[in-house]
Amino acid sequence: MSTGPGIAVTGASGRMGQMLIRTIMDSGRAHLTGAVERTGHAWIGRDVGEAMGGAAMGVIVTDDALEAFAPSQAIIDFTAPAATIAFAQLAAQARAVHVIGTTGFSDADVEALQPAARHCVQIRAGNMSLGVNLLTMLTEKVARALDDDFDIEIVEAHHNQKVDAPSGTALMMGEAAATGRGVALDRVSDRGRDGITGARTRGDIGFSAIRGGDVVGEHDVIFAAAGERIVLRHIATDRAVFARGALKAALWGQGREPGSYDMLDVLGLR
């Protein structure tokens, strides 16, 4: 077993949960100390490795998050906003690094996470991949360089099981573009075009969401002016990029001061 930090994974049966577990077990830099699922799930009480269709890993799936978090130095959490808020309080009790890949938060949800960050390291990002975070930085720089003659549109595509739209990554891009323009995203965001909408409002940042098949994640940031377009694009073909980024965050957070961080901090891109 690795001598690295122990990590618990929430939403263990999901696609990301299983990918995270495999990534941790294969890393040689950490080990799995907990696997959490919702009450009543068929995996409760089973060895998580066997539940995933492989060899036993010695970790039993539980619906008692505090039990799973207590021996852990980090929690990686790709679940849902309400669950993540509850997990944040437990992570703070355990003084464990809380890596949050959950998306779909409201402003009130984000505010509800803050008290826990006073007691533990909390790393939250709409996307954990290196490429996406580089794209976020580029989006801000391009938006700062171009004026409102360039319309900004963000187009994202995901699999047909994704429950939130726009994606957390698309919103990251939107926030970066708004920061570059020196405006608040909630004042210029255009997400609901249907019917006779009239001409596009100058300075708005538009969002479009595509859902279908097994698309892992594709994001385009389009800067469109008369006679020319600039397109920044990121395509993810394997969820392992998100799992590797989340593991990197969990390792980076060890020994840090409590507080709220994101992947730009983890990657040293600030």
| 75 and 144 housed in the same domain | no
CA dihedral angle for residue 208, residue 214, residue 216, residue 219, rounded to 10 degrees: -20
| 135 and 87 housed in the same domain | no
Q: What is the pLDDT of residue 176?
A: 97
Question: Residue 1: inside a domain, yes or no?
Answer: no
Told to judge if 119 belongs to the known catalytic residues of this protein, a careful annotator would answer: no
| 191 and 251 housed in the same domain | no
Question: Residue 75: inside a domain, yes or no?
Answer: yes
| 158 and 134 housed in the same domain | yes
Question: Residue 57: inside a domain, yes or no?
Answer: yes
> Of 158, 219, 234, 248, which is the active-site residue?
158
Q: For residue 137, what is the domain's CATH number? A: 3.30.360.10
| 165 and 209 housed in the same domain | yes
Question: Residue 99: inside a domain, yes or no?
Answer: yes
Q: What is the pLDDT of residue 2?
A: 61
Q: What is the pLDDT of residue 192?
A: 82
| 221 and 259 housed in the same domain | no
| 184 and 251 housed in the same domain | no
Task: Output the 3-class SS for 92-134.
Answer: HHHCCEEEECCCCCCHHHHHHHHHHHCCCEEEECCCCCHHHHH
| 75 and 116 housed in the same domain | yes
Residue from 188, 178, 184 nearest 140 by CA: 178
Told to judge if 248 belongs to the known catalytic residues of this protein, a careful annotator would answer: no
| 13 and 112 housed in the same domain | yes
| 185 and 244 housed in the same domain | no
Q: Which of the residues in the chain have pLDDT under 70?
A: 1-2
| pLDDT per position as a tens digit, 155-167 | 999 999 999 999 9
| 193 and 64 housed in the same domain | no
Structural domain total, the chain = 2
| 119 and 245 housed in the same domain | yes
- pTM for this one? 0.83
Range of the domain at 168: 130-236
Q: For residue 48, what is the domain's CATH number? A: 3.40.50.720
> Of 31, 41, 141, 162, which is the active-site residue?
162
User: DSSP string covering 200-214, please?
Assistant: PPTT-EEEEEEE-TT
